[in-house]
Chains A and B, each alone.
Chain A
Amino acid sequence: MGQDVELLDVSMRFGEVYAARDINVHIQAGEFFSFLGPSGCGKTTLLRLISGFMDPSEGQIKIGGKDMRGIGSNNRPTAMIFQNLALFPLMTVEENIGFGLEVRHVSKAKRTKKVEELIELVDLYGTGGRMVSELSGGQKQRVAIARALAVNPAVLLLDEPLSALDLRLRNHMRAELRNIQRRTDVTFIYITHDQTEALTMSDRVGVMSIGKVEQVAEPDVIYNTPKTAFVASFVGETNIIQGDIIRIDGDYALLKTAWGSFFCKNPQHITKGETATIFIRPETVFLAEESTAENVLACRTKTISFEGAYAVVTLTTEQDQLFTMRLNNDGSVPKLQEGEQIKVRFSRKNAFVLKNGGTPIA
C-alpha cells in the first residue's frame, strides 16, 4: 500500500545555490504525482531528497507521517527508478529483480516466488535467466520497474525513466506505468520535463521553475487555469502579448496592447494601471465572423500546416509578430491561402492575464 509524502518548507542548498527553496507539497497515498519542469529546475534534487540520498538543508520530509531526517535511503520505504535505470550489468534479470530481497535476507523460496510474480506483472516472461545487456530498451525499463517493486515500496520514485525510449515505446510504457500504479496502489512520484507525459499519466502535477513549485493541481486545472506566467508558458503552447490594464470588469480585465485592446480573465485580480501578460491558447482562437466585435485581431497568414484532425496556422500581426491558431477540421473551416489577410477572434473566457513573472518565460 502506498503512503503519503509531505514536503514541509524543504530547501536544499549547494554552497550558495539553492536547488530547491521552500517547497511545500503534500502527496497523497496511492497518488500518481508528477513534478514537471525544465532541466535544472531542481526536480531531480527533490527526488533524491525523498529517496534519502541527501538530507535537506532546511525543512522536513515525512513519509507515512514519519520524519525521515537521518534515515538513509536503504531504510526508507521508497524505491527509485533511475534515469539511466542503473540495472546491475553483471547480474541476470532474475538476480536484478531479486536483489532487494536478497540483501534483506529473504529466503530463496520466497524470493523466487516474488520474482516470478513480478516477471508476470511487468510482462517479462522467458527473460529471467538473461543478462540485462541482452535486453531491449523496453525490457530494461520493465526490469527496473520490477526490481523497484520487489521490495514492496510505499513510494516509487521515477526519474524520467522513459526519456531514452523512442516515441512509440514511450507511449506504450506510459500506459503500462499508469496501469501498474493502479494495480499496485503504490504512491508514484514521477519526474519529467515532458508535459504530455505529466499531463496524461498523473493524478496531480506540480510545476517547477528554478527551485520553486509554481502550482500544484490536477492536469486539466494546470492547463486551463495556470496560476503563474511560468506555468502558462511552460505547459502547453500559448500566444503571449503584454499590455496595460485599463479597465476592471468583475473577473475580467481590459488590456491595451500593441495589437489592440482585449478582454480577458483576471484570476490574480491585478489592479488597473499595471502591466501584465495575456495568454491565449492556439486552440481557443477562431476565424472571426463579420459580427464579432470583441477580441478581434487582424493579421496575415504566414504558414499553414495541415495535420489531419486540425491545422496549425501561423499568423503575423500588423506589428509583424507571430501568433498561432489551431483550427479543428470540423468541415466548416474555409480553405486558407498563405499570405491571406484575415481576422481572428478569441473568447474573453479563454484568455487570461497574469502578472509578469519573475521567472523567464520559456
Chain B
Amino acid sequence: MKSKSIFKFMIGLYLVLFFAYMFLPLIFMTIIAFNANDIPQITPWKGFTLMWFGELAKDDQMWSALWNSFIVAFSVVAISVPIGLGGALLLTRLQFKARNFVYGVLVSPILTPGIILGISTFLFWDSYMDIPGGLWTAIIGQSTFISSYCMLLIMSRAQRFDLTQEEAAFDLGATHRQVFWKITLPFLKPALISSMALAFMQSFDNYNTTLFAIGVEQTLPIYIGTKLRSFISPAMNALAVIFIILTVFGAIAYEYRRRREMIKAAVKIPPEPAAQVLGM
C-alpha cells in the first residue's frame, strides 16, 4: 500500500514537471507581453501595459503577412482536402497489388523534411513552369504534405465504413452519385471537417516549407521568423499571446466537439482518435 502511494506521488511529480516544462516558457512569454520594458524580459518590470499590442497593430507588414497567411491557408484547405479524399478513397476502396507501395508514396511527404518540399516545389515551378516563388508555390509546397495528413485522417474513418450500406443504397435503386452524396459523404463528414481544420492550422503554422517556397512574399510565420532574427521587440510577445489565446480556444472547442461526438458515437460509430487528428 505504501509503495503504491509513493509510486503515485512519483507519477504526479513527473506529470507536474513535464507540464511545467511545456507551459512555463509560454507563460513567461505571455507575461512579458504586458511589461512596459523595451527588452522582452520579465525583469525589470516596468509596469503593466497594452502598448505592445498597439505597436503590433500599427505594423503594416504584419497585416499583409496575416492576409497572405489566410489566402494560403484557405487555398491549402481547398486543395488538400479534395486530394486527401481522393487518396483515402483510392486506398480504402480499391484492391490492387501495388497498394502498399502507393501508400508509401502517398505518405512520403510527411516523412520528408519540410525544407526539402519547399526547395523542390520552388525549383520545379520556377524553372519548369516559369512561375517564381510566391504565394502559389507556398500553397503547392504546403499542400504536398498536408494532403497526406488529410488522407490519413479521412482514411481512418473510411476504414470503419460499413460497405453494405452502400450496397443497400445501390440495391434500393440509387445511382453512384446519389450513394456518394447521401451515404458516403455524410458518413465521412466529421473526418472532412476535422481535416479542413487540420489543414488550415498546419498551413497557418508552417515555416520550413514556406520559407523556401515563397520567395520574397511573407506569411505570418515568415514575418515572425524575420522579426525574431533581427530586432526582438515585445510586440512579438503580444503576437504570441494572441496565438496562444486562439490556440487555447481552438483546442478546447476541438476537445469539446470530440467528446460530444464520442458520447453520440457510444451508440454507433467510434470517433477518430484525437491523436490522429493531431498528426498521425
Q: Which residues of A contact B (CB under 8 A)?
A: 51-53, 72-75, 78-80, 82, 84, 86-90, 99-100, 103-104, 133-134, 147-148, 150-151
Contacts and interface: CB of A to CB of B under 8 A. Distances in A.
B250 interface: no
A133 B164 CA distance: 17
Interface stretch (B21-29, B31-39, B172-180, B211-219): B172-180
Nearest to B169: A99
Contacts of B268: 89, 133
A12 B155 CA distance: 31
A80 B169 CA distance: 10
Contacts of A148: 172
B8 interface: no
B165 A88 contact: yes
A84 B268 CA distance: 14
Which 5 pairs between the two chains have the least Cβ-Cβ distance?
Answer: A100-B172, A86-B164, A86-B168, A103-B174, A133-B267
A99 B162 contact: no
Interface string B179-197: 0001100110000000000
A250 B187 CA distance: 67
Contacts, number: 66
B171 interface: yes
Given A84-B162, A86-B164, A103-B182, A73 B171 contact: yes
A82 B173 contact: no
A312 B260 CA distance: 56
B206 to A, nearest CB: 34
A150 B169 CA distance: 13
Given A89-B269, A103-B169, A133-B267, A74 B164 contact: no
| Of B170, B186, B269, most A-chain CB atoms within 10 Å | B170
A51 B164 contact: no
Contact of A103 (B175, B186, B267): B175
B164 A147 contact: no
A89 B270 CA distance: 13
A100 B167 CA distance: 12
A74 B179 CA distance: 11
B172 A99 contact: yes
| Of B165, B168, B171, most A-chain CB atoms within 10 Å | B171
| Of A52, A74, A100, A148, most B-chain CB atoms within 10 Å | A74
Contacts of B178: 103
Contacts of B267: 133-134
Contact of A79 (B162, B172, B174): B172
A275 to B, nearest CB: 46
30 contacts: A51-B171, A53-B167, A73-B171, A74-B172, A75-B173, A78-B171, A79-B172, A80-B167, A80-B171, A82-B164, A82-B167, A82-B168, A86-B162, A86-B168, A87-B165, A87-B168, A88-B165, A88-B168, A88-B169, A89-B268, A89-B269, A90-B187, A99-B174, A100-B173, A103-B172, A103-B173, A103-B178, A133-B267, A150-B172, A151-B172
Contacts of A87: 165, 168
Given A84-B162, A86-B162, A103-B182, A151 B173 contact: yes
A131 to B, nearest CB: 9
Nearest to A72: B170
Contact residues on B (Cβ < 8 Å of other chain), bracket: 20 to 34
Contacts of B173: 74-75, 100, 103-104, 151
A148 B162 CA distance: 18
B187 A74 contact: no
A73 B170 contact: yes
A103 B166 CA distance: 13
A152 B267 CA distance: 31
Nearest to B264: A133
Contacts of A90: 186-187
A147 B173 CA distance: 12
A317 B168 CA distance: 53
Given A103-B182, A133-B268, A86 B167 contact: yes
A174 to B, nearest CB: 22
A147 B183 contact: no
A202 B165 CA distance: 28
Contacts of A84: 162, 164
B167 A73 contact: yes
Given A74-B173, A82-B168, 19 more contacts: A53-B167, A53-B170, A73-B170, A74-B172, A78-B171, A79-B171, A80-B167, A80-B168, A86-B164, A86-B167, A88-B168, A88-B169, A88-B183, A89-B268, A90-B187, A134-B267, A147-B168, A147-B172, A150-B172
Given A88-B183, A90-B187, A133-B267, A74 B167 contact: no
A74 B167 CA distance: 9
A74 B171 contact: yes
A52 B175 CA distance: 14
A78 to B, nearest CB: 7
| Of B173, B175, B182, most A-chain CB atoms within 10 Å | B173
A74 B168 contact: no
B146 to A, nearest CB: 28
A31 to B, nearest CB: 20
Contact of B175 (A74, A78, A99, A134): A74
Contacts of B172: 74, 79, 99-100, 103, 147-148, 150-151
A149 to B, nearest CB: 11
